[in-house]
């Protein structure tokens, strides 16, 4: 499943959006998605382990292994990104691909803040930690209700994240 947020859709041109989608599908055609989840989970587990082992004798071996793992996995990840970039540029032109990558990089800062659960209030200077989780379920077809104006469109897109349909 590929998700592209509404804020990103608002800043990308059609050509840039096509380049972004081509880039992401490039990961599927290159087989990158097979090792990606494992690599991500391993990196996260190493980070958690290092935090828990801080100040102990076991920290050093985990630190060495973590550095080796990061060096190897980042090299593989970088080559996969270059291949996906090349596909996007080949299909939709280098200008659109480069412009899209720049816009996505600028938006990444906001995305990281979102996942870190930190916000800066409007007019504020310091970030504040927030812990918000929304789980919603319905037996109604919300897209149809939005179209018939029986459900707020802005709320629909805020709630829509991972969609699981059950029989």
Q: What is the pLDDT of residues 90-136, one digit of tens each?
A: 999 999 999 998 888 877 766 665 656 666 677 777 877 776 565 66
Q: Tell me the longest C-alpha to C-alpha distance in the chain.
A: 63
Residues 108 and 34: beta-carbon distance below 8 Å: no
Of 89, 87, 83, 74, residue with least CA distance to 35 = 74
Residues 46 and 38: beta-carbon distance below 8 Å: no
Kind plus residue range of the DSSP H or E element containing 14: helix 14-29
Half-sphere exposure of 47 toward its Cβ, with a 13 Å CA cutoff? 7
Higher pLDDT, 110 or 9: 9
Residue with tokens 């985990």: 62
- For residue 68, what pLDDT is reported? 93
On the question of pLDDT at 1 being above 80, the answer is no
Residues 65 and 3: beta-carbon distance below 8 Å: no
Q: Distance (Å, rounded) from C-alpha 67 to C-alpha 33?
A: 23
Angle, vertex CA 9, rays to CA 33 and CA 136, nearest 5: 75
Q: Convert the pLDDT of each residue in 58-88 to its tens digit.
A: 899 989 999 999 999 888 888 888 999 999 9
């Amino acid at each position: 499943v590929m998700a592209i947020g509404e804020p990103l859709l608002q800043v990308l041109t059609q050509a840039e959006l096509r380049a972004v989608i081509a880039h992401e599908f490039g990961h599927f055609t290159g087989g990158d998605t097979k090792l990606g989840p494992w690599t991500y989970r391993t990196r996260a587990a190493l980070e958690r382990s290092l935090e828990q082992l801080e100040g102990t004798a076991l920290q050093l071996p985990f630190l060495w292994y973590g550095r080796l793992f990061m060096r190897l996995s980042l090299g593989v990840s970088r080559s996969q990104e270059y291949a996906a970039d090349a596909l996007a540029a080949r299909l939709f032109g280098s200008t659109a691909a480069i412009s899209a990558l720049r816009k996505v990089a600028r938006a990444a800062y906001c995305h990281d803040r979102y996942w870190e659960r930190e916000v800066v209030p409007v007019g504020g200077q310091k970030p504040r930690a927030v812990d918000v989780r929304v789980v919603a379920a319905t037996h109604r077809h919300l897209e149809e209700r939005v179209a018939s104006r029986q459900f707020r469109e802005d709320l629909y897109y805020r709630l829509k994240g991972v969609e699981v349909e059950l029989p």
